[in-house]
Structure 1
Amino acid sequence: MGIITGVCTFLYHLPQIYKWLLKPYYITSFFMTVAFLVVRKAPGLCEHLATQREDGNSCDFDWREVEILMFLSAIVMMKNRRAITLEQHIGNLFLFSKVANVILFFRLDIRLGILYLALCLAFVMTCKPPLYMGPEYIKYFSDKTIDEELQSDSRVTWIVEFYANWSSDCQSFAPIFADLSLKYNCAGLRFGKVDIGRYGEVSQRYRVSTSPLAKQLPTLVLFQGGREIMRRPMVDNKGRAVSWTFNEENIIREFNLNELFQKSKKLSKTRGSKGEDLTVTNNNPKKLDHVYMV
């Protein structure tokens, strides 16, 4: 039953997924993912490749290559157990497939391995995952505006995401945070973001590490009256984030958003209309609700 539901959900959102996958980052990643398969199976090319098969068929996988591909499948399945969004699922597949391809190409021919590794490095340096550009009610802070905004009105509760553009976890979380802002933003409950990859002083001031080893990105912090009330993920004594899943259900429950929204929306909008000083992006003004998880 779960498989049927998943297939139906995928087919329902296929037009949206199709449009999303046509972006250069995903097209290039796809071709790099299937590169070894193409080289090993391509007629006219595979006949000249080395093989360890007993029958000498160089156009089919040998036993070691099958082991590597099976191990790749197991790793991707394990990593995707904690994936929330479609971007995370596909991102894990692309990442570990490229690692497996590097091993396979080096094993096949060191020259092909060096060439593929060079292409991977060039891809990482020149091609970044597309940023979320959908609708949102989010205020983007700088190092000079964040303190002033958080303390300007003690009646307003802020939920602020500390993120970095280079972080794949932050990019995957962007549509979820945007969707929450559309559902819960009101006069007394606001949503904000600050790029601590760009504003290092903010990172130090609010004690959010940008180190990949700390795994603190993204970090959500609840502010009331300019004071921090809670944050997720929490940080242990060694400065590393305590494992926490950034999905919509967890955020609503941990931050008690439903109760906060009911209390906050009663606040009269004395500072102007709802989106007066918000950075609002909407590629489709008629469509504000989206499904991001498959």
Structure 2
Amino acid sequence: MALLTPLFAFLYHLPLVYKWLLKPYYIASLFMSLAFLMIRKTPGICEHLSSTREDGNSCDFDWREVEILMFLSAIVMLKNRRAITVEQHVGNIILFSKVANVFLFFRLDIRMGLLYLTLCIVFLMTCKPPLYMGPEYIKYFNDKTIDEELEKDSRVTWIVEFFANWSPECQSFAAVYADLSLKYSCAGLKFGKVDIGRYGDVSKKYKVSTSPLSKQLPSLVLFQGGKEVMRRPQVDKKGRAVSWSFTEENIIREFNMNELYQMSKKLSKSKGDKSEKANESQFPPVPEEEEPEAEANAQEVETESKKDK
């Protein structure tokens, strides 16, 4: 069952995976990840490559290349144990495949290694992974609006994600955070995001480091009454983030999302009742006007009685 459950989940989401993988960024990344394999196995090209095999077959892997590929598989398996989304799984495979290809190409020919390394650098600088564009109930802050929104209403609880567009972890977490905002957003509980890779002052003020070594991206911070209550991941005395997995289950449990949502809903209802009462007190009911026909009939009755007298 442990193997069948993820298999069925993958098959269920297969149409979405295909649609996602057919984007230009992932198509180019796939070709770069398989570059050494294609060159080593393509007839007409592999015959001209050097090989240390005893049989002299240059169209097959030698023992050192097999060791590098096995080491690559082990690293990918270890990294994917902590991956929580398909994007993270695929991203780990692509990243470490490129690193392995650099070593393989340099070992094969230094000129091919330099060429492949240059292509990787150019690709990294010019191509960015596609951003999440799905539905969400998230307000995006900048360096001027974040303080104003957090302090605007002390009764509103905010969950704010501090992220950077260049961070693969933030890109993978985007879909999870958007799904949480769709499930738990209400008048008393709101979700926000701020790009601290773009707004450095926000990063310094809220003490979220953008350094890849600190591993603080993404960071989720819970604000109540405009003040920080908790954050994940936590940061130790050395300024490094304590290891924490950004799964939807972990966030719901650590932030008490269900209780927080129920409390926020009650708060929003009480706010609505108070506002209705305030409106009623400000605008008292207008007295009913007498109909003009009734007034005319009353006047006629009075004149007839005078005539009788």
TM-score, scaled to structure 2: 0.86
3-state DSSP class of the match of 2:101?
helix
Counterpart of 2:237 in structure 1: which amino acid?
N
Q: Distance in 2 between matches of 1:73 and 1:268?
A: 51
3-state DSSP class of the match of 1:133?
coil
3-state DSSP class of the match of 1:266?
helix
Aligned pairs (5 A) from 1:89-168: 89-168=89-168
3-state DSSP class of the match of 2:242?
coil
Q: Deviations over 1:70-116 (max 9, x none)?
A: 00000000011111111111100000000000000010111111111
Q: Which runs of 5+ in 1 are unaligned?
A: 273-294
Alignment correspondent of 1:203? 203
Alignment correspondent of 2:19? 19
Structure 1 residue 237 and structure 2 residue 274: aligned? no
Looking at CA atoms only, which structure, 1 or 2, has the larger radius of gyration? Answer: 2
Q: Distance in 2 between matches of 1:109 and 1:269?
A: 70
Q: Distance in 2 between matches of 1:62 and 1:75?
A: 20
Q: Distance in 1 between matches of 2:262 and 2:43?
A: 65
3-state DSSP class of the match of 2:268?
coil
Query: In the comparison of the two structures, how many residue pairs are matched?
Result: 272
Alignment correspondent of 1:9? 9
* Residue 12 (structure 1) shift: 1.3
- Decide which structure has greater helix share: 2
3-state DSSP class of the match of 1:159?
strand
Q: Distance in 2 between matches of 1:189 and 1:9?
A: 31
3-state DSSP class of the match of 1:249?
helix
Structure 1 residue 268 and structure 2 residue 268: aligned? yes
Alignment correspondent of 2:172? 172
Q: Distance in 2 between matches of 1:6 and 1:84?
A: 12
Q: Distance in 1 between matches of 2:46 and 2:221?
A: 54
Q: Distance in 2 between matches of 1:271 and 1:39?
A: 67
Alignment correspondent of 2:219? 219
Instruction: Provide the identity percentage.
Output: 78
Q: Which runs of 5+ in 2 are unaligned?
A: 273-309
* Residue 2 (structure 1) shift: 2.1
Structure 1 runs of 4+ aligned residues shifted over 4 Å read 269-272
Q: 1:29 to 1:2 in 2, by over 3 A?
A: same
Q: Distance in 2 between matches of 1:152 and 1:247?
A: 30
Counterpart of 1:46 in structure 2: which amino acid?
C
TM-score, scaled to structure 1: 0.91
Q: 1:240 to 1:112 in 2, by over 3 A?
A: same
* Residue 271 (structure 1) shift: 9.5
Q: Distance in 2 between matches of 1:234 and 1:8?
A: 35
Q: Which has the higher contact order (CA 8 A, sep 6+)?
A: 1
Q: Distance in 1 between matches of 2:143 and 2:270?
A: 26
Q: Distance in 2 between matches of 1:109 and 1:214?
A: 36
State the Cα RMSD in Å. 1.3
Structure 1 residue 63 and structure 2 residue 63: aligned? yes
Alignment correspondent of 1:189? 189
